[in-house]
């Protein structure tokens, strides 16, 4: 039986630093302030969930960290380097799996290698090993349309881990799945993180999911998107799904829910 360990990852060097970040989108119909005055740090190796209502800028924040978008004001640093364009040493898992249905599963996993014009043969063993860890080895030669939604998301995670990045950014990757599959992938993701200790930023609408997975939860409000609290989750790992029924878990969930209810009422 695996022993329980202290929940909070010991603080390491800062991996992601967000300072005074504001993001404004300009259009002919007027400006939209998506993010305002965001300030926080994420230590190396921590699993951080970001939770908040729709429209609070969670996905915008993730895109800015990845360098797929840039803040209007403020700075973001990843591993000590200011983000000014796409960051190489990270993997991204989006809300949709974004698999190409005309390519076999193994070819979908190896897609980043082709984009970067690297040696495909050198990465094939790792791609197959990742699929095997996810229980998908027998499906390497199948096509995405032959897989369930949960299996497709596993493939997307394999693709994000192909280069063994230090940082994994996940934008509501399980939001479209049924409850049982979502639970299963929560446990699987916890196992992957426990084995690799990558720095993970996980976007979700689910309070329960945020608490179950994270060392720390960043709570955001909308219009504009701002951080209203950062909560350390002091629960032992590994965490079984039954932990969600405990009093300690409920206290954290209630604290986050109260923040979201207060900000929702205040905005009205």
Per-residue pLDDT tens digits for 156-187: 999 999 999 999 999 999 988 889 999 999 99
Cα 224 to Cα 52: distance, rounded to the nearest angstrom = 12
Residue 1 has pLDDT above 90, yes or no: no
Helix (H, G, I), strand (E, B) or coil at 115: helix
Distance CA 38, CA 22 (A): 7
CA–CA gap between residue 107 and residue 104 (Å, rounded): 5
Strands 14-25 and 73-78: antiparallel
DSSP 8-state assignment for residue 237: B
pLDDT, tens digit, 9 for 90 and up, residues 194-223: 999 999 999 999 999 999 999 999 999 988
pLDDT tens per residue, range 15-40 = 999 999 999 998 878 888 999 999 99
d(CA 200, CA 197): 9
SS3 at position 217: strand
Q: Indicate the pairing of strand 216-221 with strand 47-51.
A: parallel
Which residues lie below 8 Å from residue 102, measured CB to CB, with a gap of 6+?
143
CA nearest neighbour of 97 among 55, 190, 160, 185: 160
Question: Can you give the residue ranges of every domain in the chain?
Answer: 96-165
Nearest to 156 by CA among 202, 199, 204, 97: 97
Q: Are 9 and 23 in contact (CB under 8 A)?
A: no
Best CA proximity match to 210, nearest among 264, 246, 174 = 174
The pTM score is 0.90
Q: What pLDDT is recorded for position 11?
A: 63
CA 216 to chain centre: 13
């Amino acid at each position: 039986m695996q022993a329980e360990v202290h929940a909070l990852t010991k603080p390491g060097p800062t991996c992601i630093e967000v300072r005074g970040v504001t993001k404004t989108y300009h259009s002919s119909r007027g400006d939209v302030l998506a993010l305002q005055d965001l300030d926080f740090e994420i230590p190396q190796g921590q699993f951080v969930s970001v939770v908040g209502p729709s429209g609070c800028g969670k996905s915008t924040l993730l895109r800015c960290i990845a360098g797929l978008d840039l803040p209007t004001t403020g700075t973001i640093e990843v591993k000590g380097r200011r983000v000014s364009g796409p960051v190489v040493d990270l993997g991204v898992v989006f809300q949709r799996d974004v698999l190409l249905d005309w390519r076999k599963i193994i070819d979908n996993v190896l897609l980043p290698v082709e984009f970067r014009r690297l040696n495909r043969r050198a990465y094939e063993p790792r791609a197959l090993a990742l699929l095997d860890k996810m229980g998908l080895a027998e499906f390497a030669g199948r096509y995405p349309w032959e897989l369930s939604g949960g299996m497709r998301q596993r493939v997307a995670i394999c693709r994000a881990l192909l280069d063994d990045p230090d940082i994994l950014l996940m934008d509501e990757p399980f939001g479209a799945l049924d409850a049982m599959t979502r639970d299963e992938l929560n446990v699987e993701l916890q196992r992957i993180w426990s084995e690799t200790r990558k720095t993970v930023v996980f976007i979700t609408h689910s309070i329960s999911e945020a608490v179950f997975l994270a060392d720390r939860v960043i709570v955001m409000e909308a219009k504009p998107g701002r951080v209203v609290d950062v909560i350390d989750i002091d629960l032992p790992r590994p965490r079984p799904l039954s932990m969600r029924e405990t009093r300690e878990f409920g206290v954290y969930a209630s604290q986050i829910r109260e923040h979201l209810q207060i900000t929702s009422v205040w905005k009205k």
